[in-house]
């Protein structure tokens, strides 16, 4: 991985102790925010989860560690440190209410819910970064999308403050996303439609983030997002899941999701319509059911060789 410039001055961190009122699986709640093992904004070093974000107050590096007593100790560096510390409970799912969730319509879901009481839906409250990352993942393999995210963030982001275990970076500013040159998108391995969608969204990035955050419910947020050129239901759902912890968002159009849901709940594949019918008993909590399916360890067996995408960047 490239490193640009010296690491910013560490300074003294702001520290906190978060005592969740409910069981918490810290890794299972926070690590779904990571975009691949090489994500320059997030890594795990031993017992510590490191996360770099561009907050409304500037870049922040956040370190999270769970104690044997179930407390979450947090430390943050950088100009956005106080914002990151204040937002830490939400990242750990403090606002996620699963108290009335009923898994009984299916024994697999009931069992997974019983075995994973600490599974929570966390949120970053950073809408545009979630949107940009979701657009990168449209219609490509995870390997391609994560590679593009890694390259753009390292090339055009900002070096993280604090004693990170390896060089880490915050994503670009919204204006920075808008000014990523066309050659950089190409070198990163991103297709022109996705690059254009990110650049066009960045032209109204602050207004989009405010509108999504201020919308009263998931349907209203969805309407804001899918009104954007190049953003459909899948991208909207992925954005709402990461940024807002939407417990009902379903990524319709995902290459694998319907197959996994169908296999877990019926033993065979279904299409998107079939998936939505299967999830209907949990209306309002469908994303939670999807997370529980993945946590259950039940996966559709692989049916063929892995896809090896062709690299067009040298052309």
Helix (H, G, I), strand (E, B) or coil at 53: strand
Residue 179 lies in a domain: no
Cα–Cα distances (Å) from 301 to 111, 153, 292, 306, in that order, read 21, 34, 18, 12
Residue 152 lies in a domain: no
pLDDT band per the 50, 70, 90 thresholds, residue 307: very low
What does the alpha-carbon distance between residue 40 and residue 154 come to, in Å, rounded to a whole number?
7
pLDDT band per the 50, 70, 90 thresholds, residue 305: low
pTM here is 0.91
Domain range for 52: 14-102
Mean pLDDT of the chain: 93
pLDDT digits (tens, 9 = 90+) for 22-45: 999 999 999 999 999 999 999 999
Residue 238 lies in a domain: no
Residue 71 lies in a domain: yes
Compute the radius of gyration of the chain from its Cα atoms: 19
pLDDT digits (tens, 9 = 90+) for 235-274: 999 999 999 999 999 999 998 999 999 999 999 999 999 9
pLDDT digits (tens, 9 = 90+) for 72-95: 999 999 999 999 999 999 999 999
pLDDT band per the 50, 70, 90 thresholds, residue 140: confident
pLDDT band per the 50, 70, 90 thresholds, residue 141: confident
pLDDT score, position 3: 42
pLDDT digits (tens, 9 = 90+) for 5-23: 555 556 789 999 999 999 9
Q: What percent of the chain has pLDDT over 70?
A: 93
DSSP string for 52-103: EEEETTEEEEEEEEE-TTS-EEEEEESTTHHHHHHHHHHHTTTT---TT---
Q: How many CB atoms lie within 10 A of CB 181?
A: 11
Residue 202 lies in a domain: no
Give the angle 138-140-144 at the CA atoms, nearest 5°. Answer: 115
pLDDT digits (tens, 9 = 90+) for 41-72: 999 999 999 999 999 999 999 999 999 999 99
Residue 45 lies in a domain: yes
What does the alpha-carbon distance between residue 294 and residue 306 come to, in Å, rounded to a whole number?
20
Please state the φ and ψ torsions of residue 201, each to the nearest 5 degrees. -65, -35
Are 152 and 180 contacting, i.e. CB atoms less than 8 angstroms apart? Answer: yes
Residue 273 lies in a domain: no
Q: Which CATH number fits the domain that encloses residue 22?
A: 3.30.310.20
User: Nearest 10 degrees: CA dihedral of 147, 306, 279, 98?
Assistant: -50
Query: For the chain, what is the domain count?
Result: 1
Residue 46 lies in a domain: yes
């Amino acid at each position: 991985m490239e490193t640009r410039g010296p690491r910013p001055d560490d300074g003294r961190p702001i520290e906190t102790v978060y005592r969740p009122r409910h069981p918490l699986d810290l890794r299972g709640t926070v690590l779904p925010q990571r975009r691949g093992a090489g994500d320059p904004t997030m890594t795990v070093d031993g017992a510590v989860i490191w996360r770099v974000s561009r907050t409304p107050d500037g870049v922040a590096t956040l370190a999270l560690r769970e104690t044997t007593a179930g407390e979450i100790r947090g430390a943050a560096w950088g100009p956005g440190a106080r914002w990151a510390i204040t937002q830490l409970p939400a990242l750990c799912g403090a606002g996620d209410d699963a108290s009335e969730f009923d898994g009984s319509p299916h024994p697999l879901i009931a069992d997974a819910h019983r075995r994973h009481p600490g599974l929570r839906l966390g949120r970053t409250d950073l809408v545009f970064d979630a949107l940009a990352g979701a657009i990168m993942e449209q219609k490509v393999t995870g390997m391609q999308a994560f590679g593009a995210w890694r390259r753009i963030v390292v090339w055009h982001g900002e070096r993280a403050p604090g004693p990170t275990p390896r060089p880490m970076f915050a994503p670009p500013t919204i204006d920075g996303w808008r000014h990523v040159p066309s050659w950089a998108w190409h070198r990163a391995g991103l297709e022109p439609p996705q690059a254009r969608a990110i650049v066009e969204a960045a032209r109204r990035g602050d207004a989009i983030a405010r509108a999504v955050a201020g919308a009263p419910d998931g349907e209203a947020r969805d309407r804001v997002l899918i009104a954007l050129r190049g953003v459909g239901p899948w991208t909207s759902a992925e954005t709402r899941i990461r940024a807002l912890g939407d417990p009902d968002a379903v990524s319709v159009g995902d290459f694998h999701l319907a197959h996994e849901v169908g296999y877990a709940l019926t033993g065979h594949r279904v299409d998107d319509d079939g998936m939505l019918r299967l999830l209907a008993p949990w209306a309002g909590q469908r994303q939670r059911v999807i997370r529980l399916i993945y946590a259950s360890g039940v996966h559709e067996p692989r049916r063929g060789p892995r896809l090896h995408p062709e690299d067009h960047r040298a052309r």
